[in-house]
Amino acid sequence: MKSSSFSFVVLILSFLTLSCGPSVSVTDSWKAPDIADSKSDHFLVMARVDDMPGRQRFEQEIASRLREGGLDAMESYLKFPNLNLNDKMSPAEIDELEEMLAREGINGIVLTVIKDVKQEIKTTSSGGYHAGYYPYFDGYYGAYYSPYGSRGSYIPSSSRTYQSDIYKLETVVFDLDRKGDQMIAIISVNITDPKSASEVAPKYSQKLAKQFE
């Protein structure tokens, strides 16, 4: 029985390890009622982040996800490799960019920016009385796998204080052919404790793509 119990512990710990990762949650979103009319646009995907590898990964994931949904989307770092999205542009440079986009047949923009970064201090507590070694099961299985049987156990209480980094990202989608207000969608997302763009970008792109559904 010890062997079975050990194998079960390994299985649970493996599952919990694979489940860990940054939290990606939508805090606000809006889309135009007629957003479907813009699905035939030629979209340029732009990610304004601090480093080029991060920009590339976000643009790759977003553009790929949009293409899977049937949209025409192109990464800006591929289409315009000399375009620096972090530079502040003058009105004349903005006009020049708009003319360049028009010449290339681009009439849609998907722009992602980091709006804010903040830190929060969090405290978690653990320990105390547990009815069984595995709280996921009741009755027979709880007693079978618990070294304390159904009587439970007491684990000394402990707490951990740590700093959590929260990034607020926002993506705005524009249809440049529209008259008046050209914004057709916007989504704001909080990402907690991201380790890398490669870890976060796929999850973020999934949230964004839902705006076109």
At position 118, the amino acid (one-letter code) is K
Task: Tell me the Cα Rg of the chain.
Answer: 24
Contacts of 74 (CB under 8 A, 6+ apart): 42, 43, 44, 45, 63, 106
Q: Are strands 72-75 and 23-31 parallel, antiparallel or unpaired?
A: unpaired
Q: 0.85 cut: is pTM over it?
A: no
Enumerate long-range contacts of 146-153, CB under 8 Å, 24 or more apart.
153/129
pLDDT tens digits, residue range 25-44? 888 999 999 999 998 999 99
Q: What mean pLDDT, rounded, does the chain reach?
A: 75
Whole-number Å distance between alpha carbons of 133 and 101: 62
pLDDT tens digits, residue range 82-141? 888 888 888 888 888 889 999 999 999 999 988 888 876 656 666 554 444 434 434 433
Is 164 within 8 Å of 123 (Cβ atoms)?
no
- For the ranges 8-17, 22-31, 60-69, the lowest mean pLDDT is seen at 8-17
Distance of CA 99 to the CA centre of its chain: 32
Q: Say what the pLDDT of residue 144 is.
A: 38
Check residues 58 and 11 and name the one with the higher pLDDT.
Answer: 58
At position 207, the amino acid (one-letter code) is K
Domains within the chain, CATH numbers bracketed:
22-120+162-212 (3.40.50)
Check residues 156 and 29 and name the one with the higher pLDDT.
Answer: 29
